[in-house]
Homo-oligomer: A and B are copies of this chain.
Amino acid sequence: MKQKRPKYLQIIDAAVIVIAENGYHHAQVSKIAKQAGVADGTIYLYFKNKEDILISLFQEKMGVFIEKIQQEIAGKDTAAEKLYMLIEKHFSLLAEDHHLAVVTQLELRQSNKELRLRINEILKGYLNILDSIIQTGKDTSEFSEDLDARLARQMIFGTIDETVTTWVMNDLKFDLPALAGNVHKLLINGCGRV
């Protein structure tokens, strides 16, 4: 598996740094190669093309992201508790890695539609977690049973995503994890029984 070779991750980490510091459109393959300490041609021994670097980057980072969140919510029983842990972890993981935050919220969105669709594919792992939380909420009667699961998922994801994007657009100045409580309250209200 290519993931096991050290240069694979080395190049992905270099890509995150180069994209965060130079922006998506100025992140040339040669810059990534230099940052990774390899020759330009070496990139193509580990990735099919430039797009493959970006896909793999998102896949790799999102994989870790999802895994950590799942660990956090595994021990919780209620949907409310699970949702809180998800929001809190989502915010704190990005607050800990500014480069990654910039890359996922701003830069990677400048890619074309095709790449965005493939990124959406990867995102499904995250959305599945949301679906399972919503289902939990219905099972425990925390949420209304006729709650539209897809819309609820869009509300939760849209709200979290918009909040993070606003934070990044504001140059990561305010304390993102501190908002977890209020965001959680809003979303629980939205999903809850009236």
Contact = CB atoms under 8 A, between A and B. Distances in A.
Contact of A110 (B111, B159, B183, B191): B111
Interface residues on A, range: 35 or more
Q: How many copies does the complex hold?
A: 4
A162 interface: yes
A173 interface: no
Given A148-B182, A192-B194, A194-B192, A155 B187 contact: yes
Contact of A109 (B109, B161, B166, B190): B109
A154 B163 contact: yes
A71 interface: no
A122 interface: no
Interface in A99-123: 106-107, 109-113, 116-117, 120
A23 interface: yes
A161 B109 CA distance: 14
Interface in A171-194: 179, 182-183, 186-187, 189-192, 194
A126 interface: no
Interface in A136-163: 147-148, 151-152, 154-155, 157-163
Given A158-B159, A161-B158, A152 B186 contact: yes
A109 B115 CA distance: 13
Contact of A169 (B117, B147, B161, B182): B117
A25 B112 contact: yes
Contacts of A120: 169
Given A106-B116, A109-B109, A189-B191, 11 more contacts: A23-B112, A24-B112, A25-B112, A120-B169, A148-B182, A154-B163, A155-B159, A155-B183, A158-B159, A158-B162, A189-B194
